[in-house]
Structure 1
Amino acid sequence: MEPLKLKYREALTEAMAKAMRKPNTLLIGQGVTDYKGIWGTTLGLAEKYPDRVIETPLSEDAIAGICLGASLNGMYPINTHIRVDFSLLIFNQLINLIAKYKYMFGGLFEIPMMFRLVIGRSWGQGAQHSQSLQSLLAHIPGLVVIMPSNSQSILESYDYALNHYRGPVVMLEHRLMYELEFEQRNENNHPFETRVDRKGTDITIIATSVMVLEVRRACDYLEKFGIYPEIIDLHSISHPNRELIFNSVKKTGRLLVADTSWLPYGVAAEMSRIISERDPSILKKPIKSLGMAYAPCPTAKVLEDMYYPDVHDLVLSVLELTDKKATQKIPIPIKTPMTDFYKHFKGPF
């Protein structure tokens, strides 16, 4: 019997459909009633729930305030943003109020709600429409920040957030993954938990979102030459499992971090802090990190292709950290843009 396969967007469609069956759920944002329905993830919901699926004007801060008020009055708002860049306009509500309400009022008020934010590249998106701002959000106490890397993670995390967690959750969905198909696994992970994606012995690679998939591709290549990395899907950016991460690095003695965003003050820096503050002596080599070039994203595709790390950079980094580059003549894969492997841009988002 073939394993069940589900596309990333299909898992989101299922998660949104399940959410709307609850009479207190509110789906609100730009594009929720669009004919493409945010890559198909909200299609049909406006017709089925016309009073609770609400298209909004370009008033992000005001809409976030409405969501806050709705949550305080027993509703569960799901606020969508077709680009994470647009969510910068809700930071006053999100950071100054939503993240702090429970703390400021001694636990008397809970703010269960969700923000769906789309991150990452396609091509031609430019500097203002292709960012990955997870580190900004994970810096704020009171927020749970999740970056699902596959369909199963979406189903588990969205269900837990909607039905069990009594606080604000930010879900970051990568634009390149919507059309990708994933085999469903029965791994019994906690929905908000860091997880070991693949066991290995030679090096620990911690990855986020679509970089988990790039790391898998790199590891498939490296295993042909007898190099077996351990892959850790960070998943929850705001609440990493420090013990799991430390024990993996203690076992392998080497750490490579692959993030979808810039490196300074980011996820990679936080992973380094976990090791360096506890026991840096477990490292056989200094930690190495990969992320976007530290500059605004270029619009031209030929420049954008150089802007992001890929299998070429991952393999090269692993060989350097495992000392295989100097001792073995392992060919480095040609640098190939992720869009050639995952998705070609079709618009409009």
Structure 2
Amino acid sequence: MEIISYREALRESMESALANNDNTIIFGQGADDYKGIFGTTIGLAEKYGKHRVQDTPLCEEGMTGICVGAALNGIKPIHIHIRADFVFLALNQILNMAAKYKYMFGGHYDVPIFIRAVIGRSWGQGAQHSQSPQALFSHFPGLKVIMPSNSQSIIESYQYLLNEYSGPVISLEHRLMYDLNFDVDRDQIRTGKDALASYIVREGKDVTIVATSIMVLEAVRAAKYLAEYGIDCEIIDLHSTTDIEHSLIIESVKKTGKLLVADTSWVSFGVAAEISRIICENAPQYLTAPVVNVGMVPTPCPTAKSLEDLYYPNLESLISKIINLSGSGKNIPIPDEKSMADVYKKFKGPF
């Protein structure tokens, strides 16, 4: 067992991709500077050459178009966006080109683009720099979307998607997680398509929690707290929003009778809605209470930290909803914790 930070797992995966395939290149704003995109590309330009690890201009659609053309000609580009919102400027290239070429040309063309994009809060990000667009990208056939919640998931899924998979991928990394350390067991690395599968993080019998990204960590914290009061939560890490393990979720809900979905984005028309659909279409008879969803308040993100703390879900709101869903009837004290940013990473100012 090793202790590897989220950042270190990403950098390891980037270096492994460059070392294992001479046709792999990395594009990204700041990919070759001393900060190395939150430390995930530090030293790679010096080691593998600036022709393979390149900075980019502020031209997201143009750069993504270059990546599409490169991918169609045998190159394996990794395109990094320091904020997921910037990917919106390249939607035509991603959704109309990369996601569809293999279908449009009878499987003769692969477009192995790997896009890394940063999601989530700090404080001061505001409405245009803090969105979490997994539902948008998951809606379009032809794309793989992953949301790693720990270092092991990064190493597993990146190894498969960068070395074996030949289609376009969107990986959404949460900005609060780069500094976090995780246990990694290299003897238990999942390989191939198994690396994308949802899995049970914690077994329980009272409430099923299906979570994405950093909300997996929040669910674990909530479960540990509630276990002291006799509420036993089962937690499923969704990991890939395009490769959802229906049977895993259904069997868990069959056991607990209750489902809560905790996502990093808005609830409406999103991942929460999709998980609810899966249960409602396939196993509504197992529910003993209505499905509960946890996500962002349905407004653009405010800039002020005091308002941002109200906008994002936190341990307090998550625990409150789990208690209500469980129907325990116990008078359980709810922790007064307003901001996950104060727990995972202390920010001293905007951005």
Instruction: Report the TM-score, using the length of structure 2 for normalisation.
Output: 0.96
Match of 1:309 in 2: 313
Q: Residue in 1 aligned with 2:145?
A: 145
- 2:3 and 2:290 mapped to 1: Cα distance? 39
Post-superposition shift, 1:279? 2.4
Instruction: List per-residue Cα deviations over 1:72-107 (Å, max 9, x = no partner).
Output: 111100000000000001100000010000000000
1:28 maps to amino acid:
F
1:28 is matched with 27
Match of 1:175 in 2: 175
Q: How does 1:80-229 map to 2 (within 5 A)?
A: 80-185=80-185, 187-189=188-190, 190-229=194-233
* SS of equivalent residue, structure 2 residue 8: helix
| 1:163-214 per-position Cα deviation (integer Å, ceiling 9, x unaligned) | 1111111100000000000111454542111111111111100000000000
**Residue identity matched to 2:38:** W
Helix, strand or coil: the match of 1:261? Answer: strand
Match of 2:13 in 1: 15
Q: Residue 273 of structure 1 aligns to which amino acid in structure 2? A: R
Count of equivalent residues: 345
Once residues 273 and 291 of structure 2 are traced to their aligned partners in structure 1, the CA distance between those partners, rounded to angstroms, is: 10
Further displaced range: 291-300 or 179-188: 179-188
| Corresponding residue number in structure 1 for 2:250 | 246
Asked if structure 1 preserves the Cα contact closer than 8 Å seen for 2:146 and 2:196, the reply is: yes
| Aligned-partner Cα distance in 1 for 2:238–2:220 | 14
Matched with 2:260 is 256
- Tell me which residue corresponds to 1:47: 46
1:347 Cα deviation (Å)?
Answer: 7.2
Deviations 1:223-262 (A, max 9, x none): 1112111000000011211111111111110000000000
Letter in 2 for 1:272: S
- Once residues 8 and 188 of structure 1 are traced to their aligned partners in structure 2, the CA distance between those partners, rounded to angstroms, is 16
Which letter maps to 1:297? C
Deviates more, 1:28-37 or 1:139-148: 28-37
For 1:208 and 1:138, the matched residues in 2 are separated by: 13
* C-alpha distance in structure 2 between counterparts of 1:111 and 1:202, whole Å: 44
Distance of aligned partners of 1:274 and 1:169 in 2 relative to their CA distance in 1, 3 Å threshold: same
Q: CA deviation at 1:336?
A: 2.6
CA distance in 1, matches of 2:280, 2:35: 46
Q: Distance in 2 between matches of 1:41 and 1:132?
A: 20
Please, which moves more after superposition, 329-338 or 92-101? 329-338
**Partner amino acid, structure 1, of 2:298:** Y
Partner in structure 1 of residue 78 of structure 2: 78
2:122, 2:350 within 8 Å by CA — same for their partners in 1? Answer: no
Amino acid at match of 1:252: T
- Stretches of structure 1 that go unaligned for 5 or more consecutive residues are none
> Which amino acid in 2 is paired with 1:30?
Q
Equivalent residue for 1:233?
Answer: 237
Corresponding letter in the other structure for 1:271? I
Inter-partner Cα distance in structure 1 for 2:333 and 2:239: 31
Rounded to whole Å, the distance in 1 between the matches of 2:349 and 2:70 is 32
Checking the alignment, whether the CA contact within 8 Å between 2:125 and 2:350 is kept in structure 1 is: no
**CA offsets, 1:330-349, max 9 Å, x none?**
11111330011000225785
Identity %: 57
Q: 2:344 aligns with which of 342, 345, 348?
A: 342
**In 2, Cα distance between equivalents of 1:305 and 1:91:** 30
1:69 and 2:69 aligned: yes
Taking only aligned residues, the RMSD between alpha carbons, in angstroms, comes to 1.2
Conserved? CA contact 2:152–2:189, under 8 Å: no
Query: Matched residues in 1 for 2:109 and 2:61: separation?
Result: 21
SS at match of 1:259: strand
Query: Match for residue 277 of structure 2?
Result: 273
Q: 3-state DSSP class of the match of 2:310?
A: helix
Give the letter for the 2:238 counterpart: L
**Letter matched to residue 35 of structure 2:** K
Residue in 2 that maps onto 1:328: 330
Tell me, what secondary structure is at the counterpart of 1:200?
A: coil
Provide the C-alpha distance between the structure 2 equivalents of 1:346 and 1:24, rounded to a whole number of angstroms.
40
Give the secondary-structure state (helix, strand or coil) at the position aligned to 2:171. strand
Q: Distance in 1 between matches of 2:243 and 2:9?
A: 23
Aligned to 2:196, the other structure's residue is in SS state coil
In structure 1, what is the Cα distance between the partners aligned to 2:349 and 2:165?
Answer: 34
